[in-house]
Structure 1
Amino acid sequence: MYQSRLVQHIRELPAKKRERFRQFVNSPYFNQHDRTTALLEFILKKLDGRPSGLSKERAYKALFPGEGFNEQQLYNVMSYLNKLYYRFMAAEYTEKQRYLESIFTLEEAFDNHQFDIMTNRGKQLMKKLKKDPVHNSEYFQASYRLNHALGYYSGTYFDRAETNTFQSMLDELDKYYMLEKLRNCCHLTANSLILNTSYNFRMLNELLEHLRANWPDFEDEYSIVMYHTALMSMLEEDNPDHYQRMKRMLAENMKSFSETEGRDLYSFSYNYCIRMINAGHRDYQVELFQLYKQGLKQDLLLDKGLISEWDYKNIATLGARLKEFTWTENFLQEYQEKLPAHRKENAYNYNLGNLYYNKGLYEEALSALLLVQFTDVKYHLSTTFLLLRTYYALQDTEALLSLIETFRIYVIRNRKMTVEQKRGYTNFLRFAKKLVLIKHSASTYSRKDFEKEIDELRDKIEISENVINKYWLLEECHTGAKATA
């Protein structure tokens, strides 16, 4: 039983939620089955002990003292408790939503013909909606359902010719659909750009045309405008006006969005800059860095108080690359405690090593990088590449060639990398080894022969399509050519 899904679900609950679930199960409104209550108490008591303490036999003995073991009876009780857990999840979710409980009250009152409750709660909900600055899909759905209930109540019992409420119902339904369509198309288009997936966005073109033709009807709905702008920045990537408009809107008013939506919208802007950088537009590095700073000020890079280790890395990498050394060092220190606990040391040491490398403090960089544990492929690849560059800068040819060979074997044997990724890294390592042998043996060449070797290598790198970290190889070839000029 220790490995059962029911026990796993309860184990995953934070302490406060475990207690709320216990109260839920103990409520006679939701549960009048004593053995279900007893089973939960047994699980909670034994949950943090040895697995043997949660055996089926011990659980059965606690629930059915003096009876012979009957596995089916135990499963029945577990099934009751599992169903209560699902109801508990629904209750918890409903409580977190801004309007759902009010809507449920309104609609139940309508079904029960308790129209005094419906009209009273309807007025309260209408006031709440008018004051709410966050016009997201949750808002539009609540507004639609409110007008739906009030419209059909009025049309059925008072004035069949009344149109205002029904028109509001239709308008809010349209806005709900438009916003959800735009929001999901943003996410899925972003996925398509990253993962090379494709979707049939049925009726998206018609929706975009409708928005263009009726823009005055929607231009005051900030959320619709924002998601439309974000989507257009992906669909019409060559037109920077969409990105610039999105950037201005992100800076001006994020009160119209929930924290989750704010983080999503910033991620669309980050990804646009990253695509531009990858396409060779290096000025977008500054754009991306400023966006990250802006997101940090608005607390939109934190999720439940924590920053993703990859956002932490991206920000620190950009800061170091742009030579914003003091700001970057302060950032690494300030946000170290906001990293997930199991990732904190690795993320801090890697990014500190990268900062030292960019400052030219290569010995300090090595000290930090050698503390990084290769807990996953990403850290292994990133750290090894940075170590390679550091050894290269120190002109430690022996250590560098040894690392290249070790790294090559790791890439070949790694089962988590795709064939294309492996080819990209092996091409990089092949060119890196050649570059090392040429540059660190420069004294054995004549000036003319050295330049010829470097130029030939650079030409080969440039025409090769799949080379990881190609920019560094070309940069070092260029540096080598300049050094002999």
Structure 2
Amino acid sequence: MAVFKKSFRGRGYSGNYLRKQCNALYVALQDWLVQQQANRQWEELLFLRQLQERKSDHDFQLFLNPAKESLEQYPYRDAEYFERTYLLAQEQDRFFGRQQERRYDPALQRQSDALDHYFIIQKLRLACEMLNRNRIIQADYAPHLLPEILKVIKQETRFREVPAIAIYWQVWRSLQADFSMEDYQEFVDLLLVHPSTFPPEEMREIYRYAQNYCIRQINGGQRDFSQHLLKLYQHQLDRGLFLLDGIFPANDFKNIITLGLQLEAFPWIREFLEDYRQYLSPVQADNIYNYSLAQFYYTTKTYDKAVDLLREVQFTDRYYDINGSIMLLKIYLAQKDYFSFHYFLDACKIRMQRNREVAADYRKSIINFLKICKRIADLQERSPYLSTAQYQRRHQKIEQQMTTVRPLFDQWWLQQELGKLAQGN
């Protein structure tokens, strides 16, 4: 009522009148949003179409070349570029058809080729997303006509000469079992040679496919792909693909830090931390930076600094909280502070058993990690008092447990710690 009186001074309250005004406002908002979305190139195309409808041939010819020039100034050669090329050539061909001239005009061929390119790019893009979702959520999306399209791409090199088609073809192939190291290198080379094929948002998604391929290889035991994964991150950093909205995504920041430390790229990681901390979300920046710097100090065995930083972090994210706790456990084990280790491990185990805010599989993988970690610590602490036979039996039992228990968090680190014990015994 108060809003009505202020908005419509001097008018008595009427619900029907208010609804009509709200509806008019909503329609005006729709029009405004459409205008915001429209850009100069689409406006030119629509203008040419209207000239065509009105048979304003002189004006059509006058504005056709500027529209072509505007299209060529579009910075990418993605599906949208070929869609606009097709529509512009369509208007040009319609104009030519009305002239009733018996001669060759390239607009018809350009229209056909652009439609082919647009269709193939979009079909490949959707097919890749379908297969990706089928894997993640066990869906049953079916990319119809894809076998025919793939056959055409293989048989006719002219399609593979279009960078957008060549790139999405490699994306599709990266999701297949027979994708080789040579294929992967060709994929990455295409991304480097044609950096402006897609808008940043789409290029970022394409890089994610390349990242996921590397991650699958790493998970399959090919740890050499860690270097390739780091290079992918570095390429994207060089091109600003992590800063599409001015904020560095927290998960990507964490993944880069973790990978770089695993590869012992310590100077580069230290520089990365300082260069990109300013782009973290202001709400999380201090915690993420301190946690990441603690990771750096832990990995470089500067344990006291790592512990001090972890004590400063105010964990609001459950996953950061869990990983911070595990880092402290690893530090206590490295320092052979068994009292603090066992006390903290028991506390972590109780918290994880009660925690229902994280995924069940993830929670189970942490609990399994804590159990095996405790056994490794016990063996490390008691090894001076065990006979060789006793030590070997316990060592083998832990080794066997690591191969059978699933899911298991950070299995690689557990294997490393167990390996250190075997070397030191």
TM-score range, shorter chain: over 0.9
Deviations 1:260-283 (A, max 9, x none): 222222222122111111111110
Contact kept in structure 2, 1:178 and 1:207, CA below 8 Å:
yes
Are residues 1:475 and 2:419 paired?
A: no
Deviations 1:220-274 (A, max 9, x none): 2111111111221112454222211011122223022222222222222122111
Q: Which residue of 2 aligns with 1:70?
A: 14
What letter matches 2:420 in structure 1? T
Distance 1:238 1:149, change over 3 A: closer
Aligned partners of 2:178 and 2:295: how far apart in 1?
Answer: 31
Matches within 5 A, 1:53-452: 57-95=1-39, 99-130=41-72, 132=74, 134-159=76-101, 162=104, 164-215=106-157, 217-236=158-177, 238-452=179-393
Where 2:356 maps in the other structure, the secondary structure is: coil
Deviations 1:123-173 (A, max 9, x none): 222233345562111110000001111112211332377563222212111
Where 1:293 maps in the other structure, the secondary structure is: helix
Once the two structures are TM-superposed, the CA of residue 200 in structure 1 deviates from its matched residue by 1.0
Distance 1:435 1:75, change over 3 A: farther
Where 1:381 maps in the other structure, the secondary structure is: helix
Aligned partners of 2:281 and 2:258: how far apart in 1?
Answer: 19
What letter matches 1:405 in structure 2? D
Contact kept in structure 2, 1:307 and 1:339, CA below 8 Å:
yes
Distance 1:223 1:237, change over 3 A: same
The list of structure 1 runs, each at least 4 consecutive aligned residues, that deviate by more than 6 angstroms after superposition, is none
What letter matches 2:6 in structure 1? A
Where 1:134 maps in the other structure, the secondary structure is: coil
Aligned partners of 1:302 and 1:396: how far apart in 2?
Answer: 42
Where 2:175 maps in the other structure, the secondary structure is: helix
Aligned partners of 2:15 and 2:326: how far apart in 1?
Answer: 56
Contact kept in structure 1, 2:133 and 2:139, CA below 8 Å:
yes
Deviations 1:171-210 (A, max 9, x none): 1111111111112223343344444444211111111111
Aligned partners of 2:20 and 2:317: how far apart in 1?
Answer: 42
Where 1:281 maps in the other structure, the secondary structure is: coil
Distance 1:235 1:443, change over 3 A: same
Where 1:472 maps in the other structure, the secondary structure is: helix
Once the two structures are TM-superposed, the CA of residue 62 in structure 1 deviates from its matched residue by 0.7
What letter matches 1:177 in structure 2? F
Contact kept in structure 1, 2:130 and 2:143, CA below 8 Å:
no
Q: Which residue of 2 aligns with 1:48?
A: none
Distance 1:397 1:202, change over 3 A: same
Deviations 1:90-145 (A, max 9, x none): 111113xx622221212222223333333322222223334556211111000000
What TM-score does the superposition give when structure 2 sets the normalisation length?
0.93
What letter matches 1:138 in structure 2? E
Where 2:283 maps in the other structure, the secondary structure is: helix
Contact kept in structure 2, 1:455 and 1:477, CA below 8 Å:
no
Contact kept in structure 1, 2:173 and 2:179, CA below 8 Å:
no
Contact kept in structure 1, 2:164 and 2:197, CA below 8 Å:
yes
Alignment root-mean-square deviation, CA: 2.2
Contact kept in structure 1, 2:246 and 2:279, CA below 8 Å:
yes
What TM-score does the superposition give when structure 1 sets the normalisation length?
0.82
Once the two structures are TM-superposed, the CA of residue 309 in structure 1 deviates from its matched residue by 1.4
Aligned partners of 2:360 and 2:137: how far apart in 1?
Answer: 15
Distance 1:445 1:72, change over 3 A: farther
Distance 1:80 1:407, change over 3 A: farther
Aligned partners of 1:58 and 1:233: how far apart in 2?
Answer: 61
Aligned partners of 1:442 and 1:236: how far apart in 2?
Answer: 45
Contact kept in structure 1, 2:127 and 2:143, CA below 8 Å:
yes
Gaps of 5+ in 2: none
Contact kept in structure 1, 2:71 and 2:81, CA below 8 Å:
yes
Give the number of the structure with larger relative contact order, counting CA–CA contacts within 8 Å between residues 6 or more apart: 2
Q: Which residue of 2 aligns with 1:12?
A: none
Aligned length: 425
Aligned partners of 1:269 and 1:115: how far apart in 2?
Answer: 49
Contact kept in structure 1, 2:93 and 2:107, CA below 8 Å:
yes
